[in-house]
Amino acid sequence: MKKLIPFLIILVFSAGCEKNTVISPTLFGKWEWTSTCGGFAGICYTPQSTGQNSYIIFTADSNFYFYGNDTLKIKGKFHVFNITVNNESYKYLEAGSMGGEYTLTGDELSWPENHACCDCFGTSYIRTESLNELLSD
């Protein structure tokens, strides 16, 4: 029975859900990690506090490249969706195992760590290079 509960939760949420794939040129470019915060304790990690750096590149052909300490860790396709649940619209970004509702304000990207979590952490990035700047390097 316990194995059935997560399936039922997903089924309930997806039943009232409408998903449309969109192209989002505003995401294209290089995004450097600035912080990951959350959890019940309100923990916050930064490049300064961890001694680590990471960045993600989104390209016009829907590819993403995730680097940790300047080493390519994950690459694949990313998808952006508009999801409507109970007449409320959300922007959803999925790249590999990372995904969730995201917000984009100018050159700041806020994005959760994974699809389904109980003690969610959110990660913030800042755009350091546009796609045009990356292509001209």
Give per-residue pLDDT as tens, 76-118. 999 998 888 888 888 889 998 888 888 899 999 998 755 456 6
User: Whole-angstrom Cα distance, residue 47 to residue 32?
Assistant: 10
> Nearest CA to 36 among 101, 110, 116?
110
What pTM value is reported for the model?
A: 0.75
Q: Which of these CATH numbers, 2.40.128, 3.30.1490, 2.60.40, 3.30.1560, describes 18-136?
A: 2.40.128
| Domain locations along the chain | 18-136
24 — pLDDT class (breaks 50, 70, 90): low
- The C-alpha angle 109, 112, 115, rounded to 5 degrees, equals 135
Average pLDDT of the segment spanning 5-17: 41
Say if CB 33 and CB 125 are below 8 A apart: yes
The neighbour count for residue 103, using CB atoms within 10 Å, is 13
Q: Which residue has the higher pLDDT, 115 or 35?
A: 35
